[in-house]
Structure 1
Amino acid sequence: MSSTNPSEADQAEDLYFNSNPPPKDLDKHVALARDFINFQTQEGRRVVLITSGGTTVPLVRFIDNFSAGTRGATSAEYFLESGYAVLFLHRQFSLLPFSRHYSHATDCFLDFLREGPNGSVVARDEDAGKMLHVLRQYREARDRNMLLVLPFVSISDYLHELRSITRLMRPLGPHGLLYLAAAVSDFFVPPERMSEHKIQSTDAADAVMKASKTASADVTTDEETFDNFDSSPSVPRSKRLVVDLDPVPKFLKNLVEGWSSQAMIISFKLETDPTILVHKARYSLDRYQHHLVIGNLLSTRKWEVVFVAPNMQDRWIRLPINRRKSTVDGPAPLDLTVADQPLDPKSLPEGEPDIEIESLIIPAVEDLHSGYIKAYDETKGRA
């Protein structure tokens, strides 16, 4: 395929980044990321860049991606628990580590609080213990400079930030880890085709323009023009919005071969069809030559994922379906399950699992990363 040709990939990269302007805060974010990475290098820590949330495609209005950033925000907490410094590149207003426990709740955040003595604000009694635990974890991460949070909005913002930050991670060598959990748009509108003004929902503007050219002082338009709920089965083309989108260039190969070539790179694959999940994950792995694809199905993503890696049997990481919060002998065992088939969604119990699948994903990723560093060091030693 032409997209696997490095020279063509470089040309596509140059064309995209030269024609799509960087976000206004890019220089500020790069400076923060550089200081953060340098500090972690001096401390001898591993650094993981987590991308999280969806990307928008501006159209004056915009097309958005389905993603609240749950996987990324949750994973960040478990990476911190494992001793990684976390550079969290997230969609603005998507879920954040630690605050996700309250910002994503069904209750309003203010419902967790009450007025205390002398006009103070305190957590309500039933939430105080958990809130204090989460607050301490957050403060420890920030006080030890182990968490840096940087936002993006559009697909162009995301790609500029990703390229700049991954290049900064080069000095980390194999101790850098890229955990690409963001839901990235597949299509975009090039700047030269961007609409300058608000996209009209009807042809009312045309009607006004035509009427203004008549001798009559009264402007009249057909009432149907303003009807957004036209139930007629055939909608005139003049009332449709037809958007011509270009495919977003696939930069994963550029990342693997150039931006941060020594880091361990993990991508994600979300599918709705269980018959193609592993096949699509394996195809991505073979095409881009990175280190791990974590596949998940929309219907079971909170219960299981599959690890697809080179020279490794596919591994399903799965929560025990009969898991209970506690047993006489303590928590039920949590194991990596090797299976040939994904779970049947109909076999799952009602409601959410009582533990988070990321509590299994991150230790498994850490083991693979340790193996990657060891193999890299051995190869370097032989050289």
Structure 2
Amino acid sequence: MHAYTRQEMSTESVITSRRLEEFLKENLTDTMAESLQHWGERLASFAQRVVDGHCRGIALVTSGGTAVSLEVTAVRYLVNFSSGGRGAGLAEQLLQRGWACILLHSESASLPFRRHIDGLGITEFFRELTLGRHSSSVESVLVAYEKYRENLFLVPFHSAAEYLYLLRLLTNTLCRKVDCLQRLPMILFTAAAVTDYYVPRSRMPEHKISGGDHLTLHLDTVPKILGLISEEWHRESSDCPRYLISFKLETDEEELRRKAVNNLLNYKCDAVVANLRQSYREKVWVYWLADAEPEELLRPEDRSIEALILDRILDRLQLNVCDAMSTGPEGA
């Protein structure tokens, strides 16, 4: 199996970067881009604050689905649906373990802690509002949110273009704009479901497409920027480990394995969490770049699958930290 060399990845990244710029220019107006730019400054302030508060590390988690519009004045969309439950669950687990978490989430995605309230039935929900006191389950969620909210930074997106713009902005900010982060481990979890196709703005009708007739769409491919992000994330200037964990969902196990291995080799992910659509809440395979075979994780009755995933990743991260310390100047 072929793996890119550093030089090839750099060349590939230049091509991808140009393609990304063209895509963003075509799908984001200057006003839209300017409205997103402030997230970089806000993230830098957040990162400085949580580092001063002695968090154990910083994680950027992407979550939810992406949408591409079919009209300029958008009514109809193509959507890669994702509830965002995986990302929200990972965020909760990270916060409970002393990490700070940035959640880049779609506007409709499940949110950490709030998802447990949103999951109440309508009768339960209104009972909570009218009783004057909370049930033990709701009270525990409120207590957890209050305890961890200062270490949680939420960044919403709607379209695929907004997602790609913000992902590049946030990773660049974390890797280049906040010097104190060089002393902390960081993990990037790309759990968002990014659409593969879009309609270029130049080919969109201005107003709503009329119903009633057959509709043929000619779709272009959305640029795949995971390799570009990987190169930025793994810059050698950091003193601590930086992990990139990507996610793959398929309906066929052989296809799932093929694409997971492809992500490992072509994009230099540290690990790929792979699951089938039919069993994504109960079972995943974790593919590590350093291992010949994936590790299968099965959810026990008393824990979430996200807790197991994070167990494995943080165990590897700790080993990486220990190895770095033993081979550093003092351990040499």
Using the size of structure 1 for normalisation, the TM-score is: 0.73
Residues 41 and 152 of structure 1: CA distance in aligned 2, closer, same or farther (over 3 Å) = same
Q: Distance in 2 between matches of 1:181 and 1:373?
A: 24
Alpha-carbon contact 2:283-2:297 (below 8 Å) kept: yes
How do 1:262-301 residues align onto structure 2 when only pairs under 5 Å count?
A: 263-301=242-280
Cα separation, partners in 2 of 1:110 and 1:318, compared to 1, 3 Å: closer
**Matched residues in 2 for 1:280 and 1:376: separation?**
31
**CA drift at 1:194:** 2.4
Which among 141, 150, 160 is matched to residue 155 of structure 1?
160
1:251 and 2:261 equivalent?
A: no
Query: What is residue 107 of structure 1 aligned with on the other side?
Result: 122
- Cα displacement (A) at 1:377: 5.3
Q: Deviations over 1:231-260 (max 9, x none)?
A: xxxxxxxx2111111111110111011266
**Alpha-carbon contact 2:233-2:244 (below 8 Å) kept:** no
Q: Which amino acid aligns with 1:281?
A: A
Q: CA deviation at 1:365?
A: 1.5
For the pair 1:75 / 2:90, whether they are aligned, the reply is: yes
Conserved 8 A contact 2:190-2:247: yes
Question: For residue 193 of structure 2, what is the aligned residue in structure 1?
Answer: 183
Q: Does 1:93 align with 2:111?
A: no
- SS of residue paired to 1:83: coil
Q: 1:267·1:293 contact (CA, 8 Å) conserved in 2?
A: yes
Matching residue of 1:329 = none
Distance 1:39 1:295 in 2: 34
Structure 1 counterpart of 2:53, from 40, 43, 47: 43
Aligned to 1:122: 133
- For the pair 1:9 / 2:9, whether they are aligned, the reply is no
Q: What amino acid is the match of 2:171? A: T
Distance in structure 1 (CA, Å) of the matches to 2:62 and 2:50: 19
Aligned length: 305
The offset of 1:319, in angstroms, is: 2.5
- Per the alignment, in what secondary structure is the counterpart of residue 232 of structure 2? helix
CA contact (8 A) 1:167 1:260 kept: no
Note the aligned Cα RMSD (angstroms). 2.4
Aligned partner of 1:316 in structure 2 is 296
Contact 1:186 1:247 in 2 (8 A): yes
Structure number having the greater helix percentage:
2
Instruction: Give the % identical residues.
Output: 31
Is the partner of 1:150 in helix, strand or coil? strand
Structure 2 residues without counterparts, runs of 5 or longer: none
- Cα drift, residue 17 of structure 1: 3.0
**Aligned with 1:179: secondary structure?**
strand
Superposed counterparts of 1:188-203, under 5 Å: 188-202=198-212
Supply the distance in 1 between the matched residues of 2:124 and 2:109 (Cα, whole angstroms).
16
Q: How does 1:364-379 map to 2 (within 5 A)?
A: 364-376=312-324
Report SS of the residue matched to 1:299.
Answer: helix
Unaligned 5+ residue runs, structure 1? 203-238, 324-353
CA contact (8 A) 1:166 1:260 kept: no
Higher relative contact order (CA 8 A, sep 6+): 2
**Displacement of 1:197:** 0.8
Task: Please give the secondary structure, in 2, of the residue aligned with 1:305.
Answer: strand
Residues 90 and 151 in structure 1, CA contact (< 8 A), matched pair in contact too = yes
Tell me, in whole angstroms, the C-alpha distance in 1 between the residues paired with 2:234 and 2:217.
35
Asked if structure 2 preserves the Cα contact closer than 8 Å seen for 1:103 and 1:109, the reply is no
1:379 and 1:18 mapped to 2: Cα distance?
45
Whether the 8 Å contact between 1:51 and 1:72 is mirrored in structure 2 is yes
8 Å Cα contact 2:189/2:246 also seen in 1: yes
Q: Which moved more, 1:360-369 or 1:71-80?
A: 360-369
- Shift of the alpha carbon at 1:104? 2.7
1:57 is aligned, of 68, 72, 79, to 68
Q: In the alignment, is the contact (CA less than 8 A) between 2:58 and 2:100 conserved in 1?
A: yes
Structure 1: how far apart are the matches of 2:19 and 2:203? 18
1:54, 1:68 within 8 Å by CA — same for their partners in 2? yes
